[in-house]
């Protein structure tokens, strides 16, 4: 249980809560506001927890953030409620609602992230070190799932390149591999019927991993990531389908070989290694030309899908000369 001191709370942080409607956060926000007015500050979180217990001791803790010019503007943010109850996190169950119910046991502290492989300075970072290593930025990104639904999510983190630079990748390093946490005892809902090789593994080409948009993500809506969204640290690659953005990562392996990634092994014809958002390459079972925006009214959900999820001006040059229909 983390006890918040009055000095940790800025009035600006409290008003930012008005941007989303979430009963629990609203209540905690209101109670923090009361604390600001001179009431019992130490008790505020405790009272909020009594009213509505959190799934994790840390999810929901405020983070100090700065604005980022790389944030996407002009989009309506998906609500905190939808981002935290509509998840694909198969280790905690197949249903979209399962991770928010089942991920409470994910041991997000202590947590370390190991960087190994073709780096001159292999290191293991503690989550608290990661949170302080570089200023945390608010980054609003569109999020496009391969299943043709999408969200607009205010992540918190900094470019993965900041972390990788610290480890000094060698010149022969060509790819980066991400391994998610896996423990059958904690994640007993893991999806075994399809014969997935756990732990969940994803990968990027080195230049993709070093691109400033690729985010080492530790927060959501200005707060510590909820477990079901990949706490305590995950990758977010906004121009690729969501499954490329590995959750709850424990290892980053720098290699010279293209990694074998989880969904690609499941079905190479459905999930390519690159999996850049591309409205011209259909999934075998559905078109990728359009998407359904989560949280919109049923008559207003359908949206055109943009090449590279709308980040083409920043990332298209990474794929110059490549046939993206072949390398989907």
**Site of interaction with another protein (CB under 8 A):** 81-82, 85-86, 94, 96, 149, 191, 193-195, 266-267, 282, 284-287, 289-290, 292, 294-299, 301-302
Evaluate whether 137 touches 153 at the Cβ level (below 8 Å): no
Determine the Cα–Cα distance for residues 85 and 22; give it in Å rounded to an integer.
12
Q: Which is nearer to another protein, 67 or 289 (CB)?
A: 289
Determine the Cα–Cα distance for residues 147 and 150; give it in Å rounded to an integer.
9
The CB-of-271 to another protein minimum distance in angstroms stands at: 11
Q: Which is nearer to another protein, 16 or 85 (CB)?
A: 85
The CB-of-207 to another protein minimum distance in angstroms stands at: 31
Q: Which is nearer to another protein, 86 or 111 (CB)?
A: 86
The CB-of-145 to another protein minimum distance in angstroms stands at: 10
The CB-of-302 to another protein minimum distance in angstroms stands at: 6
Determine the Cα–Cα distance for residues 158 and 146; give it in Å rounded to an integer.
24
- Sign of the Cα torsion 305, 206, 131, 113 reads positive
Q: Which is nearer to another protein, 93 or 117 (CB)?
A: 93
Q: What contacts 180, CB < 8 A, 6 or more positions away?
A: 91, 199, 200, 201, 202, 246, 247, 248, 249, 250
The CB-of-243 to another protein minimum distance in angstroms stands at: 12
Determine the Cα–Cα distance for residues 325 and 281; give it in Å rounded to an integer.
6
Q: What are phi and psi of 244, to 5 degrees?
A: -70, -20
Cα–Cα distances (Å) from 194 to 103, 182, 191, 263, 319, in that order, read 21, 17, 7, 11, 32
Q: Which is nearer to another protein, 137 or 291 (CB)?
A: 291
């Amino acid at each position: 249980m983390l006890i918040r001191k009055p000095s940790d709370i800025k009035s600006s942080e409290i008003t930012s809560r008005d941007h989303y409607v979430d009963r629990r956060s609203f209540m905690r926000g209101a109670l923090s506001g009361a604390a600001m007015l001179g009431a019992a500050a130490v008790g505020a979180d405790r009272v909020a927890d009594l009213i509505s217990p959190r799934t994790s001791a840390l999810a929901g803790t405020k983070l100090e953030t700065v604005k980022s010019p790389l944030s996407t503007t002009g989009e309506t943010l998906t609500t905190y409620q939808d981002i935290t109850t509509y998840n694909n996190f198969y280790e905690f169950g197949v249903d979209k609602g399962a991770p928010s119910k089942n991920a409470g046991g994910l041991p997000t502290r202590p947590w370390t992230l190991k960087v190994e492989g073709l780096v001159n300075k292999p290191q293991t970072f503690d989550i608290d070190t990661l949170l302080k290593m570089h200023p945390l930025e608010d980054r609003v990104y569109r999020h496009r799932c391969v299943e043709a639904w999408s969200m607009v999510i205010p992540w918190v983190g900094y470019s993965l390149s900041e972390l990788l630079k610290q480890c000094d990748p060698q010149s022969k390093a060509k790819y980066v591999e991400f391994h998610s946490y896996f423990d059958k005892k904690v994640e007993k809902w893991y999806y075994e019927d399809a014969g997935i090789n756990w732990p969940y593994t994803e990968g990027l080409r080195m230049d993709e991993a070093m691109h400033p948009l690729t985010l080492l993500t530790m927060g959501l809506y200005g707060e510590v990531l909820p477990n079901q969204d990949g706490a305590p640290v995950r990758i977010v690659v906004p121009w690729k389908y969501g499954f490329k953005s590995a959750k709850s990562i424990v290892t980053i392996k720098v290699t010279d070989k293209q990694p074998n990634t989880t969904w690609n092994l499941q079905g190479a014809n459905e999930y390519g290694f690159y999996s850049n958002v591309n409205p011209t390459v259909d999934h075998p079972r559905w078109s990728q030309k359009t998407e359904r925006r989560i949280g919109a009214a049923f008559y207003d959900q359908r949206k055109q899908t943009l090449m590279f999820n709308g980040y083409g001006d920043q990332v298209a040059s990474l794929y110059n000369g490549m046939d993206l229909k072949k390398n989907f």
